Structure 1
Amino acid sequence: MIREIKVARYIDGRIPIEQYEKLIDEHTQLVSVDLVGWLTGYVEDLRTISIIAHEKGAIVLSDIFHAAGVFPIDLRGLGIDIAVCGSYKWLLAPSGAAFLCIKKELLDTVLTNCWTGWLGVGDSVIERRVRGETRLFERPLPLLDSQPASSASRYEWGSWAGPTVVGLAESLRFFQKINMESSWRRIQSLTSTLINELVEKNFKIFSPIEKDRMSGIVSLSTRNSYDVAEKLLRSRVVVSARPGILRISVDFYNNEEDIEKITCKLAEMKEAII
């Protein structure tokens, strides 16, 4: 039973480690934290947060939505217990699918001992397919006397959105083929260039400027974010508007010309932004 939810607050676009130390105690069961902040692009120190949480007996769950596809991720090295991620955004796959990674030793604990649908039972279609079986429905599914699957497939719901799953599979194959370290260095270089150009033009950066906390997201503090985003779109520059924030995403397929174009367009609209 959930007795209390504590929320860490942003301070200048980031959450200081001291807040986690203050909020996590011996009563904490679960610590949920994004690896990369969706609004600022701040890369959390998940390794330190995991140590703090585990010392108090808590499980760490991380949403890696804005990290997967951006830079290499070592889930074991980060020390987290559960990772979740959607299919679109930086993985460049269709919307509508997601994946979950959970430590096997947690499958039968109080917080995670459950299953959700007909694909989550033991000897399900998923498990049969993994074993290489082709006659998936040759024997009845054990639905009347079911037990949860012994793997993370126990969290599968009902039938998949086929086209989305196919798209996600192709996306993952693509990212397995490319050099993620090289892709990440390119994103870092372009992001640094963008930040330097905007700082030089006296824009207020809401994202981190420290290299070890930087991702592919650069956010500006703005007065009229939605108006600015709509004007940029008319110039074929796509950004995301949030209340008081203009969020720019830089990926490996962008180039120096893209950075120059958006900085010039923003400079033209500077009076409406600052």
Structure 2
Amino acid sequence: MPTVHLDSGTAHPVPLGARDAVERYLHSRATGERWPSGEVERRVKERFARLVGASPRELAFVQSTTAGEQLAIDALDLPGRGGRIVTDTLHFFGSFWIYEQLARRGMEIVWLRPQDGRIDPAAYERAIDGDTRLVSLSLVSTYNGFEHDLARICDAAHAHGARVYADIIHAAGTVPLDLHATGVDFAACASYKWLMGDFGLGFLYVREGLLDQLRRPRFGYYQLARFRSHVYPFDPPGDGVADMAARDDAEGLFAMGTRSHAVMAQLDWTLAALLELGVERIAQARMPLLARLHEALPAKGYRVVTPPDSRTPLLTCSLEGARERLAPALERAGVTITLSRNRFRVCPSFFNTIDDVERLIDALPRLPQEDIR
């Protein structure tokens, strides 16, 4: 019996076309044939820019979402400048570590907490003040799929001179997105989830009008637009070891060194496929699947903590001991979802069908009365 994969929010399966693209890249590495790295990188950046409503000049390649978030923090000279950071507990739980450590280094950290699975944008408007340096959030929550009103939050932050960072790992490729229209200052994502890439390569977006106001957080030779040395045989003479100048785009501020060409080959295929499929069509196609889950799971006693009007591809239920209680039944049924200690998450992608959802519903045991609250 084939496995039903409803866990693309953890790591999306690699499409066969993307696998073939990687194999072609590896063949070039094995045979010494030229692989057009510059051309592929240009296409990947252009396609991702189209996908999220950005300019290629505003994009830098990074290792991961967290790497992008940290670079944004460093570029704002935090915690050195002091002040307040406003965030919320629907943000990526890995970022809890970042902001608790910044609190230990003198930053005031304000944690907003959800009500009914949501963060009211008015809570951000009340929390942001003249001392706020950064507002940090996940546009789509990895916990329950809640989607922020990013434009409204950016308006509130900018009115006080604060900058906004958005983790878009569960938004890019899943919901229509126009970063320019939101006004967000920074955004980052890895590629191994909904972009159908792999671990080790992602994107950092920096609003172009902000570039010349930022502190350079790191120094890497991929930042350079010009390099001419004066130290090797036959070099022209010069006053120093080399003449160097940085690029005037996001790469010129944030790029470091080499990046994964294998993942770049994947993204060259997957981003083209996403643009052809259309994110809005993908989002519309999953709505009947989400509606069925919202209907069936409470009927079997499960507490859904995802807002019922959510359009994102993550639906979460809270359940004490979820992994231990559900894993055997799901394994027997050949269904894969995200199982955590006290919750489970269903993440349908464009290849899933209503039959996949029904198989999951049938596999989930009805909860005893004492578990229904």
1:73-92 per-position Cα deviation (integer Å, ceiling 9, x unaligned): 11122221222111111111
> Given the superposition, is the C-alpha separation of residues 273 and 257 from structure 1 closer, same or farther in structure 2, using an over 3 Å criterion?
farther
Q: Which runs of no fewer than 5 residues in structure 2 stay unpaired?
A: 1-77, 83-106, 228-234
Which of 152, 168, 189 is 1:64 aligned to? Answer: 168
> Given the superposition, is the C-alpha separation of residues 116 and 14 from structure 1 closer, same or farther in structure 2, using an over 3 Å criterion?
farther
CA distance in 2, matches of 1:148, 1:197: 56
SS at match of 1:160: coil
Match of 2:13 in 1: none
Which of 127, 130, 135 is 1:23 aligned to? Answer: 127
> Given the superposition, is the C-alpha separation of residues 188 and 118 from structure 1 closer, same or farther in structure 2, using an over 3 Å criterion?
same
> Given the superposition, is the C-alpha separation of residues 143 and 150 from structure 1 closer, same or farther in structure 2, using an over 3 Å criterion?
farther
> Given the superposition, is the C-alpha separation of residues 226 and 26 from structure 1 closer, same or farther in structure 2, using an over 3 Å criterion?
same
CA distance in 2, matches of 1:264, 1:167: 35
**Quick one: percent identity of the two aligned structures?**
29
- Do residues 194 (structure 1) and 293 (structure 2) align? yes
CA distance in 1, matches of 2:305, 2:156: 27
Match of 2:267 in 1: 168
Query: Structure 1-normalised TM-score?
Result: 0.85
Q: Which runs of no fewer than 5 residues in structure 1 stay unpaired?
A: 125-138
Match of 2:283 in 1: 184
Q: What is the Cα deviation at residue 16 of structure 1?
A: 1.9
Does structure 1 conserve the Cα–Cα contact (< 8 Å) formed by 2:165 and 2:187?
yes
Q: What is the Cα deviation at residue 29 of structure 1?
A: 1.5
Match of 1:223 in 2: 320
> Given the superposition, is the C-alpha separation of residues 14 and 243 from structure 1 closer, same or farther in structure 2, using an over 3 Å criterion?
farther
TM alignment of 1:1-274, pairs within 5 A? 1-2=78-79, 3=82, 4=107, 5-110=109-214, 112-123=215-226, 144-154=242-252, 155-210=254-309, 213-231=310-328, 232-266=330-364, 268=365, 270-271=367-368
Give the root-mean-square deviation of aligned CA atoms: 2.4
Which shows bigger deviation, 48-57 or 172-181? Answer: 172-181
1:132-180 per-position Cα deviation (integer Å, ceiling 9, x unaligned): xxxxxxx99x984544321111212211112112112221111111122
Query: Structure 2-normalised TM-score?
Result: 0.63
Q: What is the Cα deviation at residue 214 of structure 1?
A: 3.4
Letter aligned with residue 197 of structure 2: A
Q: Which has the higher strand share?
A: 2
CA distance in 2, matches of 1:257, 1:190: 9
Higher relative contact order (CA 8 A, sep 6+): 2
Does structure 2 conserve the Cα–Cα contact (< 8 Å) formed by 1:229 and 1:240?
no
SS at match of 1:270: coil
CA distance in 1, matches of 2:154, 2:241: 37
Q: What is the number of equivalent residue pairs in this alignment?
A: 255
Q: What is the Cα deviation at residue 203 of structure 1?
A: 1.7
> Given the superposition, is the C-alpha separation of residues 32 and 144 from structure 1 closer, same or farther in structure 2, using an over 3 Å criterion?
farther
Q: What is the Cα deviation at residue 229 of structure 1?
A: 4.9
SS at match of 1:29: strand
Letter aligned with residue 256 of structure 1: I
SS at match of 2:335: coil
1:12-44 per-position Cα deviation (integer Å, ceiling 9, x unaligned): 322222321222111112111111000010011
Q: What is the Cα deviation at residue 269 of structure 1?
A: 5.2
